[in-house]
Structures are given as structure tokens and as C-alpha cells.
Amino acid sequence: MPFPRPSRAGRSAQRAGRVTERGRTGWRRWLIRIGLAVLVVWLLGCYLVLVEPTVNKPAKADAILVLGPPDVDGRAEAAYALARAGYAGTVVVSVQSDLQQQVKGACRNQNPDYQVICFQPHPGTTQGEAQEIAQLAGARHWRTVIVITSTYHISRARMIIERCLPGTVLMVAAPGRPAISTWAKQFFYQSAAYLKAFAQRGC
């Protein structure tokens, strides 16, 4: 016994259902494509800004600033080496706590070849460090400052410090190479920190 053919209204409903389902599938595909494109752009931007930032060659300066924490990636050691080489007579070190300052022998100025100034920024952020170095630069008439930090921090630190410091800022990367896990963390952390920095204006 043959099955009854669906009515014209039923056939129209079936066609409308298929069209609706194709539309939903098409939108999902477009959303996936857009999401993948955004992910690729974000990863590429992070690579260019965090992994391959624009760095400067060291040059004669009034001071060398070590962004905290100074014991990460050889930041402080790189600054002391530049001071010993005669690039500047003063090294300014951002420390994260009083305990850290006490255990850093250089903060007690035991080296007669150059002066070391240690400070704890308030707030304890890159912006707090930039505000401190701007005050020191103004009081001591510094015009050129070498800033040493980890590679992934170079671009954002440059943007923030240049807002505060009217002179020349030379960004030098610390020699240490972070682990893969550190890079993954920094991709997310620095992205969020960039959004915060863009939202802020002035020093």
C-alpha cells in the first residue's frame, strides 16, 4: 500500500526547515572562520610584539633602569654589566619587597664603580616604575635612560615609560630566554595588560 504523499503545505514546511537548518549551519561556519581568523591575528600580533619586539643597542646614558623583578631572566646582571662597561654611572633597580632589597648586595652600594639606587614602586606596576624613574630623571636632569626588562615586556614597557619620561628611552632585552610555559602565560597576561595600558592616558 503506497504511503500518502505529504500535502503542499507539508512539503513547504519541510523545505523551509531544510533552508533554516542550512542557514544555521552557514552561520556556525562563518563564526568558526571568524574565530579562527581572530585567533591567528592575535597569535601573530603576540609573536611580533612579545617575541620579536623592537629593541635598542646600548648607548651612553645617564642611568640604567632595571624593571622588576630584577632577578628574572638576568635583568639585574645585564644592567651591572653595562654599568661596568661604562654605559652609565647609575643603576636604578625596581625591587618587589623589602626582603628582596635586603638580599641584593648591590642595593647596599658595595661596588665603587657605579651607584645603585633601589626603590619599591607604588603602585607595584610598570606604570609605578615609570613614575618613579620620571621623578628621578627630573631631579637629576637625566636625558637618556637605558631600560632593561624581559623580551616579552619590552614593547609595553616602552609605551608606558615614554609617556612619563620626556628624554630618550633605550629598551634593552635581558639575556635570559623564558621557558615555553612562560611564553604561553605572557601571551595572555601581556594582552590584558596592553588593554589596560591603552585605556589609561598620561603618566
pLDDT in tens, 144-198: 999 999 999 999 999 999 999 989 999 999 998 877 788 788 888 888 888 888 7
Least Cα distance to 94 among 124, 137, 115 occurs for 124
Residue 58 confidence (pLDDT): 96
Helix-helix angle 180-199:154-164, to 10 degrees? 30
Residue 134 confidence (pLDDT): 95
Helix-helix angle 180-199:126-140, to 10 degrees? 70
Instruction: Confirm if 83 and 109 have CB atoms less than 8 A apart.
Output: no
In sequence order, which residues have a C-beta less than 8 Å from that of residue 90 and are 6 or more positions away?
Answer: 62, 63, 64, 83, 114, 115, 116, 117, 140
Q: Could you report the per-residue pLDDT of 62-75, keeping only the tens digit for each?
A: 999 999 889 889 99
